[in-house]
Structure 1
Amino acid sequence: MSKDHAARLARGETIEFRAARTGMTFVLLICVGFAIIGLCLLGGGDGLLRMLGVALAVFFGLVGIPVTVWRLLRPALEMSVSAERGVLVDGGPGWIDWSQIERVDREVLAARPTIVLRLTPQAQERWDDARRDAGEVVEQAPGGPGAVVPQTIGAAPDDVYRALAAGFTAWRDA
């Protein structure tokens, strides 16, 4: 995949950023461990212990392992950047048009570098409403109102920033 985000956006491509796989690797290890415990309980216990073994083996072995492997093979889409449509952030109200973004900032959140989209007041209200509808507590982004780009993206914050800056610059210069 090309790192020249401006060129990719100029060709009309949509740049997708997916979730990091690190967390799913740990979940897979936990599922395998509990599935093994469940199988051990099936062979060595009776009554309640055997029922617990069946529950562990079924839940973690037959459900947890395949779902986790699927999430490792196909991580969740966290954000998309398109020159024509704007930015789509997971959990947001849908595509945020470039005209609704005032600027793209770099901030520090919980000692980690992150990217914040500074939105127009109307877009910020739509963003906050979508978060509330999802059951999340709406907190102000660092440095003032804005939409925080998820920190669970598998790409480096500099790559994400360059893609957003390239899209914003292309829209502004058009």
Structure 2
Amino acid sequence: MSTDHASRLARGDELDYRSVRTGMVFVLLFCLGFTVIGLCLVGGGDGLLRMLGVALLIFFGAVGIPVAVWRLVKPTIELKVSAQDGVWLRDRRATWLGWDEIAAVERDAVGSRPAVTLRLTEGGSHTLSPTIAASPAELYALLSEQQTIRARRG
């Protein structure tokens, strides 16, 4: 684990982990491709094909490209870690899981990709999203150390 992350948590800072940008690059390329198809249909099509071209231009060109560029510039926060509050997960209705709710932090795999799973005291578990722009080893070290510190205090 990076000592920078540990020291930031010790000072009371929150750590934000954003989603990776790779997927959004593919979405941008997809939107650009359909925008070009829309331009071709508007320029060379008749009637229904021209209307389809306009729809492609509006949906992929006017909406899709700006959204994809915005997501590339400012990716969404997928995970927050706080020494006081616990772990915030975007896909759990944006709520905090307190350290007392986390029974264990374990290494796991999603398909063939390494991942981190939080075992909850209520018996459930939550595997962290593979779209987080941080290595699973770094997240495992950070979360397991914080969970151990909280378990000693409690």
Q: TM-score surpassing 0.5?
A: yes
The aligned counterpart of 1:11 is 11
* Aligned-residue RMSD, C-alpha: 1.5
Q: Give 1:163 deviation, angstroms.
A: 2.1
Aligned-partner Cα distance in 2 for 1:74–1:166? 29
The aligned counterpart of 1:36 is 36
Aligned-partner Cα distance in 2 for 1:173–1:81? 18
Aligned-partner Cα distance in 2 for 1:162–1:4? 13
The aligned counterpart of 1:105 is 106
Q: Give 1:36 deviation, angstroms.
A: 0.9
Greater mean alpha carbon deviation, residues 3-12 or residues 20-29: 3-12
Q: SS of 2:115's equivalent?
A: strand
The aligned counterpart of 1:63 is 63
The aligned counterpart of 1:163 is 142
The aligned counterpart of 1:88 is 88
Q: Give 1:3 deviation, angstroms.
A: 5.5
Say whether the 8 Å CA contact 1:16–1:81 is kept in structure 2. yes
1:147 pairs with 126, 130, 133, which one?
A: 126
From the superposition, tell whether residues 170 and 5 of structure 1 become closer, same or farther in structure 2 (CA, over 3 Å).
farther
Greater mean alpha carbon deviation, residues 86-95 or residues 13-22: 86-95
Aligned-partner Cα distance in 2 for 1:111–1:159? 18
Aligned-partner Cα distance in 1 for 2:108–2:69? 33
From the superposition, tell whether residues 162 and 87 of structure 1 become closer, same or farther in structure 2 (CA, over 3 Å).
same
Q: Give 1:39 deviation, angstroms.
A: 0.9
The aligned counterpart of 1:127 is none
Identity score, percent: 51
Q: Deviations over 1:107-144 (max 9, x none)?
A: 122111110111101xx5xxxxxxxxxxxxxxxxxxxx
Aligned-partner Cα distance in 2 for 1:49–1:59? 15
Task: Tell me the TM-score normalized by structure 2.
Answer: 0.91
Q: SS of 1:155's equivalent?
A: coil
Q: Which amino acid aligns with 2:129?
A: P
From the superposition, tell whether residues 4 and 170 of structure 1 become closer, same or farther in structure 2 (CA, over 3 Å).
farther
Q: SS of 1:164's equivalent?
A: helix
Aligned-partner Cα distance in 1 for 2:43–2:108? 54
Task: Tell me the TM-score normalized by structure 1.
Answer: 0.81
Say whether the 8 Å CA contact 1:6–1:166 is kept in structure 2. no
Aligned-partner Cα distance in 1 for 2:59–2:131? 26
Q: Give 1:169 deviation, angstroms.
A: 3.0
Say whether the 8 Å CA contact 1:5–1:162 is kept in structure 2. no
Aligned residues: 151
From the superposition, tell whether residues 3 and 152 of structure 1 become closer, same or farther in structure 2 (CA, over 3 Å).
farther
Say whether the 8 Å CA contact 1:118–1:147 is kept in structure 2. yes
Gaps of at least 5 residues in structure 1 are: 125-144
Aligned-partner Cα distance in 1 for 2:19–2:91? 13
